[in-house]
Structure 1
């Protein structure tokens, strides 16, 4: 460590440039991690707030809530600690000449998935809804009358709940009577026993139903099947993994060049009795210092950037994930330095000093 630190002090500009490059790569890794977490939240926020273990859909729906249609009487075939029927449809909400994609959920006000109302009141009458607070930034307020695409009925916002989005769209919650009128219109009376699924809490997902037409899906599996969710996460994660590999290559190249430039010095040191192991530890320690400083600055800049980003940018920083990536970054950088260590071990003192 002594040799590593003193060399850094004597060659500040050289090592500053290496640290700067590592800092930029680390910053990009952290920012992409925040973007990946933010986009995940946009897709699954409402589902996470249900605090459920599974969702029951029709077997032919391919784990899609919108494609699952069943009769309410199917609840008789379910066995779970808590069961909450749910209806869902996607629509465009028109409010004050503004249009916003939304996801409308029909639930029972006494079910366990009923969200806490933070502002206003819960829905009690037909055509009343409570809305995700994210709609406030789009100009929605309590008392607004909202019309959904494909329906002539007006919905009245009576309250706001904590931020809740499903597959990116902000959520509105209402009762089933309203849901049937919006979805089926004049024929609602003949469809008032239809819904999309059941949200359940159960310790044994496999024992929820024995109905061959129904499928009990663990919540995480359901989320993974949301349109674009897995593909989006896979793309961003691959970008992060490639950046980690690139950081190792950068470290390997920089340190190898520095090692080649100092072959004669290392040869003299070996001739004086300094072991290859000591020199190797010095290179590894040097890499650790550079990578750690680069990661720390990159993390600080990423968190600082997040404070100034507008709400429209879906970046959410999860500190445990960032620290994990930071640790991996340092380890990968150290692995990249092993190429230089191999070069040091192979140095022949006599040849290095021209003997």
Structure 2
């Protein structure tokens, strides 16, 4: 590392340029990954945070919650084989408050009042008597001025629901979720005319991995999928994440090419110096270690600074932009960026190994 540090000090401007390139690519990678993570939570946090391991859907639903229709009698049959099972019914409504005319699109989840699917209430209380049109709402609705005790209504029908509690991380398809009991949900659907007879969209199950085979064997015309697979079935989820993942992939590939070319050019410029070092006894492995050391120092410094800049950017972004950072994501992409930087520099090692000391010294004398 002695030679690596001396070179960094001697060519400050040269290495500052490549450090800035590494920093900008890393910064952009972290920002895009934060947006991807934020959009994923904005689209599916209700499903991700939901208790349960598997989701039972109608076989013809193509793993999409809204397309699945299950008879109510199926729940009792599933409960005979599973440790825990709860029904889930979903609908989309447009509601307003009694005090303001601002319309809000929401997703309503209906389930048993005491089921495993009911979220933990962070403010207010849990649902009271069944069938009273009470709801637990995602806390993001507070940004729209909605408070506990407010009545939400639909202008085109007689639908009215009362907010009795708030819960965190309950979004579905980029809409806040309202949780209510099955009785209240059926009353709401009767008022809209969307549901003429009782049915469920899904049954969420807690159990061991063999529950999938058991239920699909015992019950016909159903499909049991993991919660992650159900999340991917949310409209637009795969497309959003796929586009952002492709952007991150191209950023990493571009970073690898830019860094590989930069260090290869520098190696060509230092051919004579490497030849002299070899002539006085420096081994190729020693020169290689110094090159890798340079890359690690530059890449690590760039990643650390870019992480700090990303947190600063996150603090400045408005609440309306879905942006989420977490430790595992930062570690994953930090390791990837540093690995790519080292991998790009490995192209120069072959050139260093081929340098002939006598030939290099001869060129200097000429």
The interval holding the TM-score normalised by the smaller chain is: over 0.9
Q: Which moved more, 1:147-156 or 1:161-170?
A: 147-156
1:50–1:150 distance in 2 versus 1, CA, 3 Å: farther
Q: Which residue of 2 aligns with 1:135?
A: 141
Q: Is the 8 A contact 2:49 2:169 kept in 1?
A: no
**Per-residue deviation, 1:132:** 0.6
Distance in structure 2 (CA, Å) of the matches to 1:334 and 1:207:
49
Aligned residue pair count: 354
**Per-residue deviation, 1:58:** 1.4
Q: Is the 8 A contact 1:151 1:182 kept in 2?
A: no
Within a 5 Å distance, the mapping from 1:112-191 to structure 2 comes to 112-125=116-129, 126-148=132-154, 151-185=157-191, 191=197
Within a 5 Å distance, the mapping from 1:1-355 to structure 2 comes to 1-78=1-78, 79-95=81-97, 96-125=100-129, 126-148=132-154, 151-185=157-191, 191=197, 193-203=198-208, 204-209=211-216, 210-353=218-361, 354=363
Structure 1 gaps, min length 5:
none
Structure 2 gaps, min length 5:
none
Distance in structure 2 (CA, Å) of the matches to 1:286 and 1:208:
57
CA deviations over 1:251-270 (Å, ceiling 9, x no partner): 11211222222222222222
**Per-residue deviation, 1:124:** 2.6
Distance in structure 2 (CA, Å) of the matches to 1:348 and 1:102:
71
CA deviations over 1:104-146 (Å, ceiling 9, x no partner): 0111111121222222222335222121101111222122221
Distance in structure 2 (CA, Å) of the matches to 1:103 and 1:186:
14
Q: Is the 8 A contact 2:138 2:177 kept in 1?
A: yes
Distance in structure 1 (CA, Å) of the matches to 2:102 and 2:235:
25
Q: CA RMSD in A?
A: 1.9
**Per-residue deviation, 1:348:** 2.4
Distance in structure 2 (CA, Å) of the matches to 1:266 and 1:129:
73
Distance in structure 1 (CA, Å) of the matches to 2:143 and 2:193:
35
The secondary structure found in structure 2 opposite 1:71 is coil
Distance in structure 1 (CA, Å) of the matches to 2:311 and 2:267:
35
CA deviations over 1:26-58 (Å, ceiling 9, x no partner): 111111111111111112211123210111221
Tell me the TM-score normalized by structure 1. 0.94
Q: Is the 8 A contact 1:53 1:205 kept in 2?
A: no
